[in-house]
Structure 1
């Protein structure tokens, strides 16, 4: 064998040896490290941390959505940053500053568009998911001082739509991109004072906004938008609370199990139970503190509840059928977020002040593993790519 041929073959073999093994992304996720503007890429199959990605800016209220193929995550930062992260190459693919203060975002039904809701400037900006090039700018309603309303509660909806709420002007808007990149806007006004957050049901039918300025919730039936917005759960809110509100619940923290919806009460030590067909309250479950997230195990049998300060060192587990307390756990100080794996065999939770992420077996109620993390907050698995409103 000639020397040049030998060198060529040896080089090819060397390159083959250093290529990373092929893998999928279905068991990958992210942990937000809010204090350092970084992410951990985690793998649920082996309960391990694969990599750390730095340089994502202000992640104090960060959230994430995933591309259809679950390879890319889109991170929405409080500094107006929109960052596309490659989970396989474990690096930032692209990052832009699209606003001054953003509060979340969504990916369209077809995975082609990324929408970001902004406090400053008030409105929604929409980008091409592949390139992060701007596609549309939707300014919110102008205020008397020349500023525009803050936008909250942005979700994706069926029919290539985004739906969102305007905090300062008491509105819900629907932006329909089904006919191209110039959206058709539908505005609903007078929906209730100061909508502060929202959710969409798993089937994409109902959009519901919580109201900060009065009791109740605003509900829009996306099957029948011509019926307008109606009020549900009239005593849900701050009007009758007996306690100071330390942390407003995130409405994504609702849980639906069977025909029931479980809702964190505002300013009360209760989880409210609603009939998911009539959206009327049927019961209330007493809990240890002011609930923030009520997370259902994927089979619907368990509810995991975490709390605002000063009870944010504990998590309570309830049986959704009997509504009885199953366990009262003490994972550590500052439990912020909880996320189940797709089939429910693991529950991951962030313990911010304990500087760790914990993985629990929700069936045996035992701690499987703890991973170190720098002030962890949100946990997001790539399985969200296949879910509406996530």
Structure 2
């Protein structure tokens, strides 16, 4: 049920106390060159996590166009895009929010907005960028054009002992109706922010124990948070938020021996295919399959390790699975109809991320400890190109600009 409004601090004229603007930085090779007249639809960014840099790539030509440096700690970085797909907003682990111009391959704006950031989102209308923070817990919202601070939402809650604390915020996504939705780890809550209202309306709902990550279904209706503190997941119907969150898949793993969890799955990489959700099982060598009609579990697919990303190709025919340490040098491909593994691939050491091209003819796979990105054909399941990169992790194509929840 909806409980009460969260405390909100608005600051329309000045930035948050502690927000620090940093000078722009760019690769010297790009800064002196004229901008090439071209579209942005086949561009993207690859995170180079060890060097605080990103590669600007052309996925049509399998080409690296340039490198942008000076983005800080990118050990757990993600990217969203402006509506015109020219600008990428890079969320760094050090609290940095960096606006990168893909055409000039330079930093347009950069601020340090928190102490430990875990991702962000851009609003449906493209006007606002929100950042989710571990330290201090809460969500900050910025003007997408200037990165001026517009709003601070402290994640304040009261624990079982009646003491007030500030929770880590996770699983921040954009939603229809110009909303942001996110979860509070310690508080066990889901909050929504309506950016259409003035001031923005913040509502909070009870969820399960320790939500650690989340996703929103492609149609923007269901927000689903994975639960670290209990078996199951917490799901909220954004068409009827007054019903609150309900627990789905509550029984998986109950009464069974769990393995140590080497890396938490990333739920934003869930596969939704043919009316079923393919879910990475926490601490298990399985991909779970749920019927989205009633969210009952209908199958468990054994895989070679603990799954981290479980991603469907754009046509939903294939499910690609990456894994946690120590078996993180392979990717397995599952046929979504037969639910059988059809190929095990070896892209390189320490596979971290995968990204399908917009129409799904290829998938790009980063291998951090092999310093490369491998491009596979989804038809032949054979490599078609490799690109060098410094400790690559996340791969983000500009097609994300036109999709919810990414």
| Fold in common (TM above 0.5) | yes
User: Which of these two proteins has the greater Rg computed from alpha carbons?
Assistant: 1
Aligned to 2:151: 136
Please tell me whether residue 188 in structure 1 is matched to residue 205 in structure 2.
yes
Equivalent residue number for residue 25 of structure 1: 40
Q: Deviations for 1:120-161, whole angstroms, at most 9, x for unmatched residues?
A: 111111000000001111111146776511111111011111
State the Cα RMSD in Å.
1.4
Distance, in Å, in 1 between the alignment partners of 2:57 and 2:255 is 41
Cα distance in 2, alignment partners of residues 329 and 45 from structure 1: 22
User: Residues 170-219 of structure 1, C-alpha deviation per residue, up to 9 Å, x if partnerless?
Assistant: 11111111124x21111112x21111111111101000111111111111
Tell me by how many angstroms 1:297 deviates.
Answer: 1.0
Which of 311, 318, 326 is equivalent to 2:342? 326
Q: Where do residues 1-390 of structure 1 align in structure 2 (5 Å cutoff)?
A: 19-142=34-157, 147-180=165-198, 182-189=199-206, 191-236=207-252, 240-390=256-406
Distance in 1, matches of 2:76 and 2:360, equals 26
Whole-Å separation in 1 of the counterparts to 2:123 and 2:391: 30
Structure 2 contact 35–104 (Cα < 8 Å) conserved:
no
Structure 2 unaligned blocks of 5 or more: 1-32
Residue ranges of structure 1 left out of the alignment (5+ in a row): 1-17
Q: Secondary structure at the match of 2:263?
A: coil
Change over 3 Å in CA distance of 1:146–1:101 after alignment to 2: farther
2: CA distance, partners of 1:368 / 1:224:
46
Instruction: Give me the whole-angstrom Cα distance separating, in 1, the residues matched to 2:335 and 2:371.
Output: 29
Does the Cα contact within 8 Å between 2:131 and 2:139 map onto a contact in 1? yes
Over 3 Å counting, the alpha-carbon distance change for 1:188 and 1:247 in structure 2 is same
Report SS of the residue matched to 1:331.
coil
Aligned to 1:4: none
Structure 1 CA distance for aligned equivalents of residues 48 and 257 of structure 2: 33
Compared with structure 1, are the counterparts of its residues 92 and 20 closer, same or farther at alpha carbon in structure 2 (3 Å cutoff)? closer
Contact 1:115 1:124 in 2 (8 A): yes
Q: Distance in 2 between matches of 1:183 and 1:236?
A: 38
The answer as to whether partners of 1:111 and 1:129 remain within 8 angstroms in 2 is yes
Give the SS at the match of 1:353: helix
4+ long deviations beyond 6 Å: none
- Deviations along 1:366-388, whole A, 9 cap, x unmatched? 11111111110000000000000
SS in 2 for 1:383: helix
The more displaced of 328-337 and 240-249 is 240-249
| Whole-angstrom distance in 2 between the partners of 1:289 and 1:362 | 22
Measured after TM superposition, the shift of residue 237 of structure 1 is: 6.7
Structure 1, residues 295-345: CA drift from partner, whole Å, max 9, x if none?
111111111111111110111111110112211111111001000000011
Q: Which has the higher contact order (CA 8 A, sep 6+)?
A: 2
Tell me which residue corresponds to 2:5. none
Show the counterpart of 2:18.
Answer: none
- 1:10 match: none
Indicate the larger mover: 19-28 or 45-54: 19-28
For residues 333 and 56 of structure 1, the distance between their equivalents in structure 2, rounded to whole angstroms, comes to: 25
Query: What's the CA shift for 1:267?
Result: 0.9
